Structure 1
Amino acid sequence: MHLRYSRVRLEAKLFNGKLASCEVELRPGANLILTDSNTQGKSTLVNALAVGLGLDDLVKGNVAALVKDTLRGAQGDQRIVEAAILLEIANASNELLTIRRSVKPELSRGMLVRRGPLSQWSEAGLEEYYLGSGSYTDTRGFHRLLSEFIGFPEVQVISQDDGVMRLYLEYIFSAIFIEQKRGWADIMANMPYYRVRDPKKSTIAELLGLDYIRNNLQRNALRLDEQRLKARYDTGIAILRRHVNGRQFSIKGIPSDIGVGSFSPQIFRVTEGEKQQSLADLLSAAEADLASKIALADLTPPDPSLQSRIDEISKRITALVTRKSELDNAIAAIRGNVRRYQQRLEVLARDLQKNKEELKIRRLFNRDEWAITSACPVCEQSIDGTLLSQMRSFPTMSIDENVEYITDQRNLLQDIISVEIARRERHQVESEQLGNEISIALTQQSEIQKSLAGAIPSELMARARDIARIENAIGSYRDLLDQTSSELAALLNIWNEYLDVAGKLSKLRSDLSADDQSLLRQFQRTFRDYLGRLGFNSFEIGSMVIDEGSFMPRVIVNDRDRRVRADFGTSASDWIRIITAFVLALHASRDNSQKSNHPNLTVFDEPAQQNIDRQDYLKFFDIVADVCRKGGQVIVAATDKDHAVRARAQGLHMHVIDFGSEYILR
């Protein structure tokens, strides 16, 4: 990920018709925005860098002068009609994107974008995007565009409810953008609340390029898999036991707790004398008994009257099979229709979403809602602008009407699908009934065919009844065996899958990987180095550590390695040193890992907080220069009454934007 500010322009249209403005070029490396005193508009300019990207939570929408009704000027306060923020930003490929956001005086939710430099800004080629719901996901969402432009990937993190969500740019910027009012209260003081679990830890891990988030995601996913598989296993056991017990059988060899013991199921029945016989043994014995009785059966002369009955049943079976085939073909055709309707429904859903996004854009920018404004409503060819007013008589649809039309189409299609599904279900019921009738007819046919052998003597009749009883028992055994075999195979798959997941989970380290520990050690060395250079003296520098459990600064307070928060016993000025050193060390550590998602940008507003020692404060600019030598960009806004910062910055060859005693907006 790479973001660089190239140019910022603030505009305020005054009630008297004049325009107050400020345009500043920001270069790669260190940029210092300096004034001789406070309240000259530095924070307005700095906060506009965040608000211009739609990151309002970082500064709570505060762009000072631009959101007020009046603007302070050399001739006194002037009333503001409306204002605007224009930002020119660059990515790693040095492509330029210019963004305009209106302030009227409330901040607009619509964003105008042009691909190119601010100097070429014009109405031609503008693209319209919006903030708010869908900003990261919708095709017209501004933060989706911004993320793609600067190369910010969709980083998945664990949410408060154990689900998965994305890490937003607001989290990244809360660690690199230190505004004046609340930014110096804590590390990532302006972090938003979007239900991310351990948001500071997850954000710092991404800035440093640690594997923490990926490992945590994998661990969380495996634990969820464990829970899912256990629930499926418990449900499967309950269903299997009810099924087996309902057939007067029992089952053993299936542990109640998945993964505990061995999976060796056996279905059995307790017979006379408390003897246990397995289902397989009972089936084998019944098949052998049947074979012996059929071998002893004697054929008798056929009964001529039975032939006509079997012919009638054969015709009935043929008719039933024909009707069932017709129904099955109709069911297949309905399934195909439903699939095509559902595909059309998906197309309508996409069209509806696009029209709703277009409607949102048009309402944000107060434009008319006609669906056709620059094209022929028949052939869709472009129309000269002078002809558009004449085309208004054509009955075109507005976006609202188009949304309503597509919604009606969707509802109609849903009704058709419901009717088709109901018709398919009726055919399915009838087909199943025909299947049962065919089965009954086949059984009758089989019985009559057996009777065609002729009159059966009483002893053969008894043998026939035994054969029928044994056949019924065999059918029941086979049915139970087939069903339980499939259920047991499914349970065994769940069992093996659970063991595989549990094995992977046991191999995952609960602590940091060796690479993560190495990156944290490098980060800690840089953090300590900067603390020392800034004059930190509340504790020994060696007692300041980056905690592996939170990735935050901690202080070792005794020999037992007891660690406490870094602000424990720390002076106010040293707390500012800790925040400064931490943020700059994050930037400097960007090149330690190719997985880092640090944007190579850091912003400070008034780093001389809590009356920090003047000499230590000037050393801050030496560190900034060191960080920027690797190609990063750091923007600092500061008050410089005695011009000592100007002299230091010039000696370090920094880019100085010096307003002196002037207001920034003028």
Structure 2
Amino acid sequence: MIKINQLYIRVNTADEVLEFRDTFDSGLNIISSYTNTKGKSTIGETILFCLGLEEILGHKNERAIKPVLRSLIEKNGEEKFVVQSDIYLEIENSHGNVITIQRSPKHNDRKVKLVSVYNTTLDEVMNKECSFTDYFVHDGGAAKNLRGFHAFLEKFIGLELPTVSTYDGDTVPLYIQTIVSCFYIEQKKGWTNILATMPNYYKIKDSKKRVLEYVLGLSVLETERKYNIAKAKLKQTETEWNVVCQSIISRIRKKAGFTIEGLTESPYVISENENPIISSKEDDKRVLIREVINKIQVEIDELNNQSEPLIKNRSEALNRELNELSGLLENFTLKLMETRNDLALEQEQLDSIEARINLINKDLDENKDLRKLIKLGSLENANITKLKCPTCGQRINDTLFEQGNDSKVMTIDESIIHLDNEKSMLEFTHNTQFDLVRSKKELIAKLEERIENISSRIRIIKSDMISNNKAISQSYVQQIVDLKVMKTNLIELEDDVDKLWSQLRNIGSQWAVDKEQLDKLPSNFINDYDKRILKNLNEEFKRLLTNFNFESTTISNIFIDDYNYLPSVQGFDLNADSSASDTIRIIWSYIIALQKISMNYGNNLGFLVFDEPAQQNADLSSAKELIKELLELGKTQQVFVLYKMEQNDGLLDRLPEGSYKRIHADEHIISYSVQDEL
């Protein structure tokens, strides 16, 4: 927090120096006049200018400052050209450290982006030569570089600004220029809506929401950060689960005829005694992989126990095996041809369904566009749409049936509903057909592999049959080798799946932890602590509305929205149904309530400026209540009211003497001349 101690404005013309200099109270400060254009707003704007926060006035640098500080200044009815202008602002932070800031709207030697900081009071700066440090503002790095003024100012105030997302996908600090819109309500745009002057060119997503979260001290930003981290971690765990599952499926698919049971697409906690089931089918019976391995070993043992594995001793067995394999080859080849034919038909059916879905999507888009045009008042083909002749206006049917047949033609809305229903049915059919095509392709791959193995075996047997009868049977040796390779491959498959299943068990346990962490966080990021803050804001806001005589709607129906933290009635913006004068009361109430809540829970800059708060002819009784509330607020923070009063209106009569400071301007505030003093 900071306190504005003193302001000094110096304007040089060709022949004299015009000044304003005054100190401010730590509570309520009223800068008043009985007519406009006396310079009340200039005081507030120069405070903003020295702090580098003038962007909420609609411009940056010298363009945000009134002409009196950069082009023409008036004294005694005479306009004079401004040659040079300097502004000095003394501020104090909550630790009692005092600095004086100098910034010049117009200066031959000083650019407007230059800010000088003296580590002493304004009196010291004016009375003797003091050291200073120069910073820059409104340029790249001003919020983070060592010589960036806002980086310095944030540290001096004690702000720890969070990092927020932009619409470009980047992250930036929640710039102090956006926060000040909660603490300075300028006299033009500032009274049109809550936080109406907040700059939007920083492209911060939901900028008002983010600013209010920070000022109110809500933990939403931190909760959302934790939620996103937990969600990303859970998503990563789910991805790891899917990767391992796909790895298992890939290994199983490489083994023709084998399938696996027990895998699921979604993670879960796997019990210790739960294991996947790898099996194949033999004679329509399920055989576990371990049983297949044992059976292969039996075959190997039987072959090894045979004596003299010469070709002449195996001719009968070779002929028998050749006949069996030839029959299998013929059957598998026939099955392969049938499956390929089936695949072609199923693929054609799938293509037809996809083409139909594309046509329906096109028809849906066209019908929805036509419905939108009609609702917007399009006259294009209007009579045809209404089933009337565009020439004579008589009723016609938009159909090729005879006019005598009273055939009902669907309306556009009915067509859209019909197309949506048809699309849903086709999408379901498409998914089923897609799975069927995929299964056919997998079956073809397995058949091709099986045919290749049988063909290889047939070639070896035939080679044996034409070889020397006393030679060792090549098919015998190859059979043993093939069986051993098959056994080794199945054992490796079993071991690989066991290892991968162990990984799944660990991933499932981690998934449970990640899921629990995510479930503990509120999905709307509002925890009980935040609810208490918003409840207090809501109560204080409605109390102030009552005191300010708000009448546009029943106050008991008004609530602070827990998404954007702004006042609403039944989910609608409160401003929308409020009169112009009640809109002002809404802003009074909300900003004052915001100051009180931020002082207790959140982040408060330490000062509040209301520039001409009596907009839209707010009645005097409400204005008196406003001043009373601001006086009370001044007990905890500094308040400035820049106010055009009516003489003898009694606005300040209810305020205790000495409870506030008043600077009243009968003439222009910047009119005191150094030469007049001399």
- TM-score range normalised by the length of the shorter chain: 0.5 to 0.7
Q: CA-to-partner distance for each residue in 1:170-224, whole Å, 9 max, x for gaps?
A: 3321122101121000011112224444433333333333333333333344344
**Of the candidates 243, 252, 256, which is equivalent to residue 265 of structure 2?**
256
TM-score calculated relative to the size of structure 1? 0.64
Aligned residue for 1:617?
623
Q: Distance in 2 between matches of 1:130 and 1:591?
A: 28
In structure 2, relative to structure 1, the CA distance for the partners of 1:245 and 1:176 (3 Å cut) is same
Is the contact between residue 528 and residue 541 of structure 1 (CA under 8 Å) also seen in structure 2?
yes
Q: Counterparts in 2 of 1:101-112, with a 5 A limit? A: 101-104=103-106, 108-112=112-116
Counterpart AA for 1:49: I
Is the contact between residue 158 and residue 165 of structure 1 (CA under 8 Å) also seen in structure 2?
yes
Q: Counterparts in 2 of 1:449-464, with a 5 A limit? A: none
Q: Distance in 2 between matches of 1:162 and 1:276?
A: 54
Q: Distance in 1 between matches of 2:630 and 2:568?
A: 24
In structure 2, relative to structure 1, the CA distance for the partners of 1:202 and 1:662 (3 Å cut) is same
| SS across alignment from 1:651 | coil
Aligned residues: 497
Is the contact between residue 252 and residue 265 of structure 1 (CA under 8 Å) also seen in structure 2?
no
In structure 2, relative to structure 1, the CA distance for the partners of 1:481 and 1:537 (3 Å cut) is same
Counterpart AA for 1:636: V
2:197 maps to 1:184: no
Aligned residue for 2:175?
168
Is the contact between residue 181 and residue 195 of structure 2 (CA under 8 Å) also seen in structure 1?
yes
Unaligned runs of 5+ in 2: 308-469, 673-678
Q: CA-to-partner distance for each residue in 1:61-105, whole Å, 9 max, x for gaps?
A: 322136642223336222224433333222221212333333248
In structure 2, relative to structure 1, the CA distance for the partners of 1:256 and 1:36 (3 Å cut) is same
2:580 maps to 1:572: yes
In structure 2, relative to structure 1, the CA distance for the partners of 1:289 and 1:93 (3 Å cut) is farther
Aligned residue for 1:303?
none
Aligned residue for 1:77?
79
Aligned residue for 2:590?
582
In the TM superposition, what is the alpha-carbon distance from 1:494 to its structure 2 partner?
4.3
| SS across alignment from 1:585 | helix
In structure 2, relative to structure 1, the CA distance for the partners of 1:144 and 1:252 (3 Å cut) is farther
2:534 maps to 1:520: yes
**Of the candidates 664, 669, 677, which is equivalent to residue 658 of structure 1?**
664
Q: Distance in 1 between matches of 2:275 and 2:168?
A: 37
In structure 2, relative to structure 1, the CA distance for the partners of 1:80 and 1:163 (3 Å cut) is closer
**Of the candidates 554, 566, 582, which is equivalent to residue 552 of structure 1?**
566
With 153-162 and 279-288 compared, the bigger mean Cα shift is at 279-288
Counterpart AA for 1:519: I
In the TM superposition, what is the alpha-carbon distance from 1:159 to its structure 2 partner?
5.2
Q: CA RMSD in A?
A: 4.0
Q: Distance in 1 between matches of 2:234 and 2:287?
A: 35
Aligned residue for 2:26?
28
Aligned residue for 1:3?
2
TM-score calculated relative to the size of structure 2? 0.63
In the TM superposition, what is the alpha-carbon distance from 1:537 to its structure 2 partner?
3.0
| SS across alignment from 2:90 | strand
In structure 2, relative to structure 1, the CA distance for the partners of 1:459 and 1:571 (3 Å cut) is same
Q: Distance in 2 between matches of 1:67 and 1:281?
A: 95
In the TM superposition, what is the alpha-carbon distance from 1:46 to its structure 2 partner?
0.7
In the TM superposition, what is the alpha-carbon distance from 1:166 to its structure 2 partner?
4.0
2:634 maps to 1:634: no
| SS across alignment from 2:513 | helix
In structure 2, relative to structure 1, the CA distance for the partners of 1:186 and 1:652 (3 Å cut) is farther
Counterpart AA for 2:78: G
**Of the candidates 33, 42, 45, which is equivalent to residue 44 of structure 1?**
42
Q: CA-to-partner distance for each residue in 1:588-619, whole Å, 9 max, x for gaps?
A: 223443xx122332111111111111232122
**How many percent identity over aligned positions?**
23
In the TM superposition, what is the alpha-carbon distance from 1:52 to its structure 2 partner?
2.2
Q: Counterparts in 2 of 1:43-442, with a 5 A limit? A: 43-61=41-59, 62-65=64-67, 68-74=70-76, 76-104=78-106, 108-121=112-125, 124-157=131-164, 166-193=173-200, 194-246=202-254, 248=256, 250-258=259-267, 266=276, 268=278, 270=280, 272-273=282-283, 276=286
Q: Distance in 1 between matches of 2:105 and 2:491?
A: 78
Q: Distance in 2 between matches of 1:67 and 1:250?
A: 84
In structure 2, relative to structure 1, the CA distance for the partners of 1:196 and 1:219 (3 Å cut) is farther
Q: Distance in 1 between matches of 2:477 and 2:139?
A: 80
| SS across alignment from 1:57 | helix
With 111-120 and 484-493 compared, the bigger mean Cα shift is at 484-493
Q: Distance in 2 between matches of 1:58 and 1:169?
A: 11
Counterpart AA for 2:115: M
Q: Distance in 1 between matches of 2:131 and 2:300?
A: 90
Q: Counterparts in 2 of 1:422-501, with a 5 A limit? A: 472=485, 476-477=489-490, 480=493, 484=497, 487-501=500-514
2:517 maps to 1:504: yes
In the TM superposition, what is the alpha-carbon distance from 1:663 to its structure 2 partner?
2.9
Q: CA-to-partner distance for each residue in 1:270-289, whole Å, 9 max, x for gaps?
A: 26545555566666777899
Is the contact between residue 270 and residue 505 of structure 2 (CA under 8 Å) also seen in structure 1?
no
Q: Distance in 2 between matches of 1:109 and 1:490?
A: 60
Q: Distance in 2 between matches of 1:92 and 1:287?
A: 85
Unaligned runs of 5+ in 1: 298-456, 556-561
**Of the candidates 585, 606, 611, which is equivalent to residue 612 of structure 2?**
606
| SS across alignment from 2:82 | strand
Is the contact between residue 156 and residue 165 of structure 1 (CA under 8 Å) also seen in structure 2?
yes
In structure 2, relative to structure 1, the CA distance for the partners of 1:474 and 1:651 (3 Å cut) is farther
Q: CA-to-partner distance for each residue in 1:426-465, whole Å, 9 max, x for gaps?
A: xxxxxxxxxxxxxxxxxxxxxxxxxxxxxxx998999997
Q: Which has the larger radius of gyration?
A: 2
In the TM superposition, what is the alpha-carbon distance from 1:147 to its structure 2 partner?
1.9
In the TM superposition, what is the alpha-carbon distance from 1:637 to its structure 2 partner?
1.3
Is the contact between residue 4 and residue 91 of structure 2 (CA under 8 Å) also seen in structure 1?
yes
In structure 2, relative to structure 1, the CA distance for the partners of 1:553 and 1:466 (3 Å cut) is same
| SS across alignment from 2:616 | coil
Is the contact between residue 58 and residue 190 of structure 1 (CA under 8 Å) also seen in structure 2?
yes
In structure 2, relative to structure 1, the CA distance for the partners of 1:664 and 1:34 (3 Å cut) is farther
In structure 2, relative to structure 1, the CA distance for the partners of 1:625 and 1:224 (3 Å cut) is same
In structure 2, relative to structure 1, the CA distance for the partners of 1:117 and 1:239 (3 Å cut) is farther
In structure 2, relative to structure 1, the CA distance for the partners of 1:8 and 1:272 (3 Å cut) is same
In the TM superposition, what is the alpha-carbon distance from 1:256 to its structure 2 partner?
2.4
Is the contact between residue 649 and residue 656 of structure 1 (CA under 8 Å) also seen in structure 2?
no
Q: Distance in 1 between matches of 2:301 and 2:80?
A: 109
Q: Distance in 2 between matches of 1:485 and 1:547?
A: 53
Counterpart AA for 1:128: Y
In structure 2, relative to structure 1, the CA distance for the partners of 1:177 and 1:475 (3 Å cut) is farther
In the TM superposition, what is the alpha-carbon distance from 1:242 to its structure 2 partner?
3.2
Is the contact between residue 255 and residue 262 of structure 1 (CA under 8 Å) also seen in structure 2?
no
Q: Distance in 1 between matches of 2:298 and 2:79?
A: 108
In structure 2, relative to structure 1, the CA distance for the partners of 1:660 and 1:134 (3 Å cut) is same
| SS across alignment from 2:188 | coil
| SS across alignment from 2:4 | strand
Aligned residue for 1:304?
none
